[in-house]
Structure 1
Amino acid sequence: MLSKAELSPESLSRVLEQSSDCVKLVDADGALLWMNPNGQCAMEVDDFQALGGKEWASLWPDETRPLIRQAMVEAAGGQVARLEAYCPTAKGSPRWWEVSISAVRSPEGAHTGFISISRDVSQLHADREALQTLLAEMRHRLKNSFAMVCAMLRSIARGHEGNTAFAEEMVARISALATAQTLFDGEQAFTALDDLLGTLISPFREGGRPLIALDCPEAIEVTREHADAISLVIGELTVNSTKHGAIGHGGAITLCAQIEDTPDGRQLAITWSERGRRPVESTSRPGGQGLALIERICRARGGTFTIAWQDEGLDARLTLPIPADS
């Protein structure tokens, strides 16, 4: 059992006091034993004696306490538990913390307590919130722009029978693109992949027949981050095909999605197989803006994107890792 008597503030501070993070030692029962000086400053703690000996989880807001207790259970089992949570300082200043919790063990391997490191990520959290607000505003403005274009098309076609069919077809395609922007409206973290892919390719039809054949199981769900990467890749491929390939000049496209097992775990694999007129290789040109953006986003998501050019078309493949707990 890690006990307070075994702790020397002098010896511990020589090792840990230079850390800019908040470092804490907690006994096996969850009681707070020690906090480094810089951590006390970060938490605006003037008198540690008022906190020492209290259950560490009880010092967090009510809604976060179960998360802290569960993380300690995981750490006691040998894992390094990690979470991000809100907790104000001792003086009430709002803060967001990135927390890691690890077990402390005796030389014999017995569980004696925990060490936790909390890093102030309040600015990062605020930046993410600002970005999400900006993206929501951009989606809202884009939807308004789509609606305005549709209204203009209908207005121009009004009274001209020959233009009405064309206008209605274009309105349907633009409306489908607008629908793709609403799949993540609100706070939902996941969306059905077949819905996402179906929406992204729905504007591309000829005579009521879809130009892109979709093969995707209904059970696959993707996160917002993965959906961004998928939308970017499909958007780039459809634009390239419209200009130079099967969508614009005739041919066939198959879009498939499946879950694959790899030595490193499961992954989502999406393939685009296009046959017909051979598209111009603008998508894969070194330094091309579209490919550069795709590669950056795929790397950020831990995935890959490749294109293999064929005699009459191309095969593109996107992979994205699936977390073990999904």
Structure 2
Amino acid sequence: MTPDAFAEASSTAASGERRSLEPLRALIVDDDEFDRMTVKRMMLSAGFAVKAEECESAAAALRLLETEPFDLVLLDFNLNLPTYDGLYVVRQSRSRGVRVPVVVLTGQDNAEVAVELMKAGASDYLAKSSLSPARLGHALRSVLRIHRLEEEARAAHEALRASEELNHSVLAASADCIKILDVSGRLLSLSQAGQCMLEIEDLAAVVGTDWLDFWKDADRTAAAAALERARAGEPGRFVGHCPSMKGKSLWWDVVLTPIRGADGRPEKILCVSRDVTELKRRESFEQQLVGIVSHDLRNPLNAILVSADVLLRNGGLDERTTKSMNRIRSAGQRAARMIRDLLDFTRARLGGGIPIARAPADLASVCGHVIEEVALAWPDRKVVSTLPARLEACVDADRISQVLTNLLANALQYSPAGTDVTAALSEVGGSAVLDIHNQGAPIPADFLPKLFEPLQRAAATYDRASRSIGLGLYIVKQLVRAHSGSIEVISTAEAGTTFTVRLPLTGMA
């Protein structure tokens, strides 16, 4: 550009346009001092608050770019000819990892030069002959905006790469079997530990397959339910049996957690499976042992009870011996109840459920007999009943008697002496509703969620007379469930405690 042309541009630059308050640290590289001053004035006129550094040579420019932070470089193409030029500076700066946007200014409007500059990494190319504050401002704003977007994309890419490396490290370090599924349930990836545990030799053979195909029968149903929960945005969990690819028997505690996308919707599913085979093996052994012991104890116990009944019926015993035989019979009956509870517990925990035999029965009569028997066993307490004349239902009468016996015994055991326990039976909407109520201290709120779990007691004290092993309410729930019914409890200091059992009258849920 001629000195007259630049002088005219300088006059235009002094027009007093409103400047931006945004500071811009710029490096202006030109071997002509007047050209450097004019470029700076144009930037000010274009609305930039400029903090400029100036230099005259390629070596000085490269040294500053490697040591100082800049937002922008304005570079004269004809710099230090013939040895070095703007193209040399662009190539050298990019090869040294400098990512600052570079706008090249030249006195020649040459398309071939422009192409070479852009290939080398220049951000834009402007001819000095047509330069104006407006054109320069537009070009600089465009270059800075593109550079900002590129830096944001680069940062996002680096963050993603770091996240993927961290995820890979976590997957490699975890001893669990970790899978990533898509929302349809197809396998996307599998941790190295999971590949080893499942004895998968060719990972490519299973990637892309349906995760549900790993499960069979009831376990597949449980897996499908857990997967559906994860798809809906909630964690899903189940315990199931899934052998390795070579047939090794394995049990897994599986948790499926949704991985949400930017819109908050589940876009992938994290599946963490923990090997619980050894735990299952120990549980199975313990439950089988309890079942065997409980079953083998019944024969000698029955002999004791039969002998005690025979001796009491025959009479001829003195008072002291009669009392001893009654204690023997009472203790034997308690032991029989404990053995029955242990057997029921074993059946329930082994997965077969407690068996029931449905038949038409009068629930009112069943409940009446149970209440009479419980009242005899608790002569110092009163059970107040409200029963209909008849209530026909298709149930296992013996098992319903067991439910009511356990609930009444529980109510009597955990209520104050001198208070009544009430039992009410009614029909509501095609279901039999049985309410057992007692006064006394309420069940602690934090204990309610585990009230029906095995080996649990709400009270801190242990009633030696009952010899309870903490299975009564667990068995009650299993028996109610076997009848397709439900049980719930409400317990407050003001109203006392009420257990409510609902049973379908027809035997259908």
Q: TM-score, normalised by structure 1?
A: 0.59
Higher normalized contact order (CA 8 Å, seq sep 6+, divided by chain length)? 1
User: Matches of residues 178-257 of structure 1 in structure 2 within 5 Å?
Assistant: 178-183=336-341, 184-185=343-344, 186-187=347-348, 188=353, 205=376, 210-214=379-383
* Shift, 1:100, TM fit: 0.2
Gapped regions of structure 1 (runs ≥ 5): 1-5, 219-226, 239-245, 270-296, 308-317
- SS of 1:124's equivalent in the other structure is helix
2:282 alignment partner, one of 108, 111, 127: 127
What do you get for the CA RMSD once the two structures are aligned? 5.0
- Structure-2 change in CA distance of 1:325 and 1:27 (3 Å): farther
Distance in 1, matches of 2:284 and 2:256, equals: 26
Specify the alignment match of 1:14 in structure 2: 169
* Shift, 1:67, TM fit: 1.7
* Shift, 1:148, TM fit: 2.8
* Shift, 1:168, TM fit: 7.5
CA contact 1:202–1:210 (8 Å) conserved in 2: no
Amino acid at match of 2:194: G
Specify the alignment match of 2:330 in structure 1: 173
Specify the alignment match of 2:459 in structure 1: 305
* Shift, 1:131, TM fit: 1.1
- Return the structure number with greater strand share: 1
* Shift, 1:153, TM fit: 2.9
* Shift, 1:122, TM fit: 0.7
Distance in 2, matches of 1:93 and 1:130, equals: 19
Distance in 2, matches of 1:80 and 1:155, equals: 60
Amino acid at match of 1:305: A
* Shift, 1:181, TM fit: 2.9
1:46 alignment partner, one of 186, 201, 209: 201
Structure 1 residues 1-52: Cα deviation after superposition (integer angstroms, max 9, x where no partner) = xxxxx99986642221110100000011111010100111111111111110
The reply on whether 1:97 has 2:255 as its aligned counterpart is no
Distance in 2, matches of 1:325 and 1:107, equals: 42
Distance in 1, matches of 2:282 and 2:222, equals: 24
- Return the structure number with greater helix share: 2
- SS of 2:173's equivalent in the other structure is coil
- SS of 2:225's equivalent in the other structure is helix
Structure 1 residues 273-318: Cα deviation after superposition (integer angstroms, max 9, x where no partner) = xxxxxxxxxxxxxxxxxxxxxxxx99x74x64246xxxxxxxxxx9
Structure 1 residues 146-186: Cα deviation after superposition (integer angstroms, max 9, x where no partner) = 22322443565686534597688557635632145324534
Larger of the two Rg values belongs to structure: 2
Q: TM-score, normalised by structure 2?
A: 0.40
The reply on whether 1:55 has 2:210 as its aligned counterpart is yes
* Shift, 1:77, TM fit: 1.7
Distance in 2, matches of 1:70 and 1:268, equals: 23
Gapped regions of structure 2 (runs ≥ 5): 1-159, 357-365, 388-402, 423-435, 462-469, 478-485, 489-509
- SS of 2:258's equivalent in the other structure is strand
Runs of 4+ with deviation above 4 angstroms: 6-11, 154-160, 163-172, 201-206, 214-218, 251-269
- Structure-2 change in CA distance of 1:267 and 1:122 (3 Å): closer
CA contact 2:375–2:382 (8 Å) conserved in 1: no
- SS of 1:148's equivalent in the other structure is helix
Name which of structure 1's ranges 23-32 and 177-186 shifts more when overlaid on structure 2: 177-186
CA contact 1:13–1:37 (8 Å) conserved in 2: no
2:302 alignment partner, one of 143, 147, 155: 147
Distance in 2, matches of 1:205 and 1:170, equals: 15
CA contact 2:444–2:458 (8 Å) conserved in 1: no
* Shift, 1:84, TM fit: 0.4
- SS of 1:210's equivalent in the other structure is coil
Residue identity (%): 21
